[in-house]
Amino acid sequence: MSQVLAPALSGRRVLAGSDVPLGATWDGSGTNFALFSAHAEKVELCLFDSRGRREIERIELPEFTHQVWHGYLPDVRPGQLYGYRVHGPYAPEAGHRFNPNKLLLDPYALQHKGNLRWHEALFGYKLGHSHADLSYDRRDSAFVMPKCVVVDPAHTWGGDVRPDVPWGRTLIYEAHVGGITMGCDFVDEPLRGTFEGLADPRVIDHLVKLGVTSIELLPVQAFYDEGLLTEKGLVNWWGYSTIGFFAPAPRYLTHDGSLHEFKLMVRRLHEAGIEVIMDVVYNHTAEGSELGPTLSFRGIDNASYYTLADHPRYYFDTTGCGNSLNLRNSRVLQMVMDSLRYWVEDCHVDGFRFDLATTLGRDRDHYSEHAIFLEAVRQDPVLAGVKLIAEPWDTGPNGYQVGNFPPGWAEWNDRFRDNLRAYWRGDPGMLRQIAGGILGSAETFAHDGRRPWASVNFVTAHDGFTLIDLVSYNEKHNEANGEGNADGHSHNLSWNCGAEGPTDDPDILALREKQRRNLAASLLLSQGTPMILMGDERGRTQEGNNNTYCQPGPINWQDWDPSEANQAFEDFVRGVIAIRHRYGLFLAERYLHSGPDARRNRFVRWLRTDGEEMTAQDWDNAESRAVGLLMHESTTYLLMLMNASDADLDFTLPGADRRGWSVLVDSANDIADPETPVSVGGPEIPLPARCFLLLETGREQ
């Protein structure tokens, strides 16, 4: 195997430097470079011109300490572009894939510059070779690779104060940095789709008026478009393919922008009282399977960074993405922990949502809440004060772990999603399931002192139908993805209300609007932490596509159209959120269990339509689709009524002869108003078909 020839050195002074910290660290005089690789034989630092097109110098790092290659360059300053070439054995059968012909990204780089251009030179082996990845490719990949940037991380935060929203008051808005402003006319065109665009005061004002406390951003750590997508003219829109855990995705920066734009966005959201939660992907990387490209980790130390199969040529994969990070390796664990602390301490992020988090708690086939990563997070003082949310599943054995994450974690609750969808669709036998979800899914989460907020409740998320599509389509329509409509979930529990897709039928349209209000109200008024999807409050449609991961156009953009229909539903959602924030019974600090508490001043009761308490026989009646929930705390009585059947009913109000009731929410009549409730005149109230009601009254006299 031939060695890559390095350009002649310019006589630049290179000092030993330090093995800590990892990455490129500017100290005001020069830059220390440190790269972990346990199995490398030599590491070369490559410096590039200001455009990243020409390698101007190649410097062998002079020292190897504690498995870290390092050197200090007194003359290298912020703005310098760089990458690495790592020498070692190319022996895939033994788990090693070193190839110094491939320029590699620094795992600790704080910024990338340039785009990844898909080319055969990115691969460590010869594409199409009869020996596949056992072959060896000698082409230099630098011309198609982004470059790392030496960064001065200093930033003036001024009086930035974290909102520190209590979990019980948290309401999450899942959003995409690009999608929220790409179609926004009032944001300056160069800023649309960027961190600065999201920081526009008018965008933030929309979130504030809606009642959002926390915005959860789809992945913003550095990622790039996969080759198979670019060949189809598509993109990696969602970003679940990270290649730089410390760097912001370049596509969300303005031209020649910097990390400071991300920090500006955080500060402006904080000024409005809104937390920033990052969706992070530490379970796998963008390098994929053994047939994937060599971009960073694979070429730096494949055997350390990845969990290898029994045959080390292959990867042990529980993510469905070709590889799994090896968090049992102390240096890989350190990288992930350093990354989390960096975003909290340097960028003032308030929390994280962990994609496919079960993989992070694995020892191959075995998941444990005492896994090394979960224990590291539990004891870390920096992470003790931030929100931690798990997507509690992956694709591996025993991958479904809802309710099994350690105390202190919240978890996405897909059972809540599925049960609520099925109930409002009219499926039989759903009363018991939705009752548990409305009271915080205590059967799943009420252990080890966990609170109701541990259940992150949602009806829609980025992965799946939007809310309006959920009531407009029975089937997915993903043809635009170029996969023959075979991608995306088929078990959507959706209902088109009588016509597939767009229709002019006024009855179907009216039913769809009512179903949207039913789903939104029951989500937002359940115990737990509610999460709503960007654009659901304004009727954003994906035209029946439930897997828009690769779609760059308006199908993934927030709908800022000020139409009467959009505004009406937004007003309804805003009203329900205001009610949630006003009444302590909806806040998820303590479980609401059936029956009175020890002091008889807090209780809930499940009621039949005749106003009497539900019996075991009532719960087991699969054909029953109507129920009431009476909630009491201090001087407040609230009554939630739900009827998912096609029949109009009457509901006998409890204590109607002793106190009067008023309507706060009525999905049939588009009412959600905490300020001017509508009085109810008699002992019974009509409960129309497909209807959600919320009533309030004062203490019994």
How far is residue 255 from each of residues 80, 195, 258, 318, 623, measured CA to CA in Å?
17, 12, 9, 37, 59
- pTM as predicted: 0.96
Q: Span 472-494, mean pLDDT?
A: 97
User: Using one digit for the tens of pLDDT, what is the confidence trace for 493-512?
Assistant: 999 999 999 999 999 999 99
| Options 133, 350, 391, 469, the catalytic residue | 391
Q: Span 348-375, mean pLDDT?
A: 97
Find, among 59, 105, 125, the residue nearest to 305 by Cα: 105
Q: Is residue 604 part of a domain?
A: yes
Contacts 24+ apart (CB under 8 A), 474-478: 474/500, 475/500, 475/544, 476/544, 476/545, 476/546, 476/547, 477/501, 477/543, 477/544, 477/545, 478/545, 478/546, 478/547
Give the pLDDT band of residue 7 (cuts 50, 70, 90).
Answer: very low
Half-sphere exposure of 138 (CA within 13 A, CB side): 5
Find, among 690, 583, 680, the residue nearest to 636 by Cα: 583
Q: Is residue 89 part of a domain?
A: yes
Tokens at 494, concatenated: 């959706």
Residue 344: strand, helix, or coil: helix
Give the pLDDT band of residue 599 (cuts 50, 70, 90).
Answer: low
Q: Is residue 467 part of a domain?
A: no
Share of the chain above pLDDT 70, in %: 96
Find, among 85, 84, 120, 122, the residue nearest to 100 by Cα: 85
Tokens at 166, concatenated: 């209590």
pLDDT over 90 at 8, yes or no = no
User: Within 10 A of 400 (CB to CB), how many other CB atoms are there?
Assistant: 12
Q: Span 52-69, mean pLDDT?
A: 98
Residue 581 has φ and ψ, to the nearest 5°, of: -70, -25
User: Using one digit for the tens of pLDDT, what is the confidence trace for 221-265?
Assistant: 999 999 999 999 999 999 999 999 999 999 999 988 888 999 999
Q: Is 380 a catalytic residue?
A: no
* 643 contact partners, CB below 8 Å, separation of at least 6: 625, 626, 649, 687, 688, 689, 690, 691, 692
pLDDT over 60 at 375, yes or no = yes
Higher pLDDT, 679 or 568: 568
Residue 458 has φ and ψ, to the nearest 5°, of: -155, 155
Of 98, 125, 150, the position where a domain reaches its end is 150
Of 125, 150, 175, the position where a domain reaches its end is 150
pLDDT over 70 at 597, yes or no = no
DSSP for residue 595:
S
Beta strands in 169-268 (DSSP E): 172-175, 214-217, 221-223, 242-248
pLDDT of residue 633: 81
Interior angle at CA 457, CA 529 and CA 452, nearest 5:
50
CATH number of the domain to which 27 belongs: 2.60.40.10
Give the pLDDT band of residue 602 (cuts 50, 70, 90).
Answer: low
pLDDT over 70 at 659, yes or no = no
Expressed as residue numbers, the domain containing 134 is 23-150
* 527 contact partners, CB below 8 Å, separation of at least 6: 438, 439, 440, 452, 455, 586, 588, 591, 592
Q: Is residue 292 part of a domain?
A: no
User: Using one digit for the tens of pLDDT, what is the confidence trace for 98-152?
Assistant: 999 999 999 999 999 999 999 999 999 999 999 999 999 999 999 999 999 999 9
pLDDT of residue 596: 58
Of 150, 175, 191, the position where a domain reaches its end is 150
pLDDT over 60 at 201, yes or no = yes
pLDDT of residue 675: 86
* 619 contact partners, CB below 8 Å, separation of at least 6: 431, 432, 435
Cα distance between residue 190 and residue 254, in whole Å: 7
Find, among 196, 193, 108, 116, the residue nearest to 151 by Cα: 108
What's the total number of domains in the chain? 2
pLDDT of residue 2: 35
Share of the chain above pLDDT 90, in %: 89
| Options 275, 317, 350, 355, the catalytic residue | 355
pLDDT of residue 635: 80
Q: Is 391 a catalytic residue?
A: yes
pLDDT of residue 658: 52
Tokens at 483, concatenated: 């996969």
DSSP for residue 400:
-
For residues 136-158, one letter each, b for 16 or more C-beta atoms within 10 angstroms of the residue's C-beta and e for the rest, the string is bbebbbbebbbbbbbbebebeee
Query: Residue 201, preceding bond cis, omega within 30 degrees?
Result: no
Q: Taking a C-beta distance cutoff of 8 angstroms, is the pair 96, 40 a contact?
A: no
Interior angle at CA 55, CA 50 and CA 56, nearest 5:
80
Higher pLDDT, 597 or 105: 105
DSSP for residue 328:
T
Q: Would strands 626-633 and 636-643 be described as parallel, antiparallel, or unpaired?
A: antiparallel
Give the pLDDT band of residue 565 (cuts 50, 70, 90).
Answer: confident
pLDDT over 60 at 17, yes or no = yes
Beta partners for residue 63, in sequence order: 70
Q: Span 474-480, mean pLDDT?
A: 98
DSSP for residue 5:
P
Q: Span 18-35, mean pLDDT?
A: 98
Q: Is residue 333 part of a domain?
A: no
pLDDT of residue 305: 98
Q: Would strands 529-533 and 172-175 be described as parallel, antiparallel, or unpaired?
A: parallel
Give the pLDDT band of residue 634 (cuts 50, 70, 90).
Answer: confident
Q: What is the DSSP string of 73-91?
A: ETT--TT-EEEEEEE--EE
pLDDT of residue 699: 43
Cα distance between residue 124 and residue 287, in whole Å: 11
* 80 contact partners, CB below 8 Å, separation of at least 6: 31, 47, 149, 150
Mean pLDDT of the chain: 94
Residue 230 has φ and ψ, to the nearest 5°, of: -65, -30
What proportions of the chain, in percent to the nearest 5, are helix, strand and coil?
Answer: 25, 20, 55
CATH number of the domain to which 677 belongs: 2.60.40.1180
